[in-house]
Structure 1
Amino acid sequence: MTGAVLDRLRGGLIVSCQAYPGEPMRDPATMARIAHAVATGGAAAVRLQGPDDIRAAAPGLGVPVVGIWKDGDGDVVITPTLRHALAVAEAGAGIVAVDGTRRPRPDGRTLAATVAGLRERADVTIMADCGSIDDALAAQDAGVDVLATTLAGYTPERARGTGPDLELLDAMAGRCTLPVVAEGRFHTPAQAREALARGAWAVCVGTAITHPETITRRFRAAMVP
């Protein structure tokens, strides 16, 4: 299954469809409509947050779902435990993305133990959201299927710039044997194209496509003299 899923992602655009608590679009039915809209527009996959959104969007979507579950208020919040990962899989995600950093997890399991536990109970592709090259190498050793630059700039190991961390992408594409998804602060199609040219297997874009509040603020800021 994993090989077929990764083949579908190669060279493609993954679109993250998420809204934050309290925002007008924070509703599973709304997220499902957005997911179907971007799939119609050519997205190779969609990234969805939480079992409710995944259950609402997955039926009839026609492209793989990268599922996460953000929970907790500690350092590790992206699918932080095996329980979260299993719930994401059960909701209908064919790809389960988990925190791929080396930070302690709330349930005390290592990433390798989480991966092993998930594989025992679900036939899914496992993505590790990493923040550094050391994270990526450790996640690869832990047995995941695909790596992502999602957490670049969100851990102390790398500074957070205004755009994507292409230096980390270069390092991961050059030193890791697994496919690497470029994700985080992609604002333009040109940046996405450059990421593919630099070795990304696929590119994940969220805010620049699916977050109207942020898009509107950028236009307004550019219009102010």
Structure 2
Amino acid sequence: MFNLESLRSSLIVSCQAYPGEPMRDPRTTAQVAQSAVIGGAAGVRVQGIGDIRAVRAAVDVPVIGLWKDGHDGVFITPTLRHALACAEAGADIVALDGTRRERPDGLTLAETVAALHDQTPALVMADCGSAADAEAAAAAGADIIGTTLAGYTDERPKTTGPDLELLQELAALGLGVPVIAEGRIHTPAQGRSALGAGAFAVVVGTAITHPATITSWFAAALES
């Protein structure tokens, strides 16, 4: 069992590729994760059972695992079955939808978290979209709160960069669990700002591990 404190003030790199992309392959994901760790990532976040297994075998840092099933509503590790599979594949932390929306299997978030804690050694990261979500997720027993869904559930506007206002609000609430900033963190300066706003750690994905998007930023800038 890893020490959660090892992630304090650190960079966690999300190593994911979208369906249909050339890099959508567990071996490639594992290589990207290894490269991120060489660069200083203290943890990685990985989607899909095959990718979780491959990355777990390739790196020694904590692995946050999730399983996206669908594209709308509750689709980030939406059921207990998905969550248990992530833990079985080697995730140290299972990330799941931590909003107050109804889950596809009919279980409450508290029931899902309790079952995970009872059946696996994994910690639970609740991906939230608002302060109300975060309060409910902490009360449900989540070990970590993520701002992953801020701007995607219609409770808050979608900010251009990280939702620093939400991070400050969560810090003021004193939830008693770490809050990890995730979502639209595209520069080192934004990462530092997230820590300054109260984040325990910072997750960066697209700006580090998604070549197609990074290339499009440069191409668009040159065209303009």
TM-score range, shorter chain: over 0.9
In the alignment, structure 1 residue 49 sits paired with structure 2 residue 47: yes
Residue number in structure 1 paired with 2:92: 94
**Structure 2 residue matching 1:155: 3-state secondary structure:** coil
Residue number in structure 1 paired with 2:211: 212
Q: 1:5 and 1:128 mapped to 2: Cα distance? A: 18
Residue number in structure 2 paired with 1:66: 64
**Structure 1 residue matching 2:3: 3-state secondary structure:** helix
Kept in 1, the 8 Å contact 2:30–2:58? The answer is no
In the alignment, structure 1 residue 181 sits paired with structure 2 residue 196: no
Please state how far the C-alpha of 1:73 moved relative to its aligned partner: 4.2
Residue number in structure 1 paired with 2:33: 35
Q: 1:101 and 1:174 mapped to 2: Cα distance? A: 20
> Per the alignment, do residues 212 and 73 of structure 1 end up closer, same or farther by CA in structure 2, a change over 3 Å counting?
closer
Residue number in structure 1 paired with 2:189: 190
Query: Out of 98, 107, 110, which is 2:108 matched to?
Result: 110
Residue number in structure 2 paired with 1:17: 15
Q: 1:186 and 1:146 mapped to 2: Cα distance? A: 19
Structure 2 stretches lacking a partner, 5+ long: none
Please state how far the C-alpha of 1:55 moved relative to its aligned partner: 0.5
The TM-score, its normalising length taken from structure 1, stands at: 0.97
**Structure 2 residue matching 1:96: 3-state secondary structure:** strand
Amino acid at match of 1:220: A
Residue number in structure 2 paired with 1:131: 129
Residue number in structure 1 paired with 2:168: 170
* Number of corresponding residues: 223
Amino acid at match of 2:106: G
Structure 1 stretches lacking a partner, 5+ long: none
Please state how far the C-alpha of 1:195 moved relative to its aligned partner: 1.0
Please state how far the C-alpha of 1:190 moved relative to its aligned partner: 0.3
1:169-214 CA-to-partner distances (Å, cap 9, x unmatched) read 1111110221100000001000001111121100000000000000
Identity %: 63
Kept in 2, the 8 Å contact 1:173–1:179? The answer is no
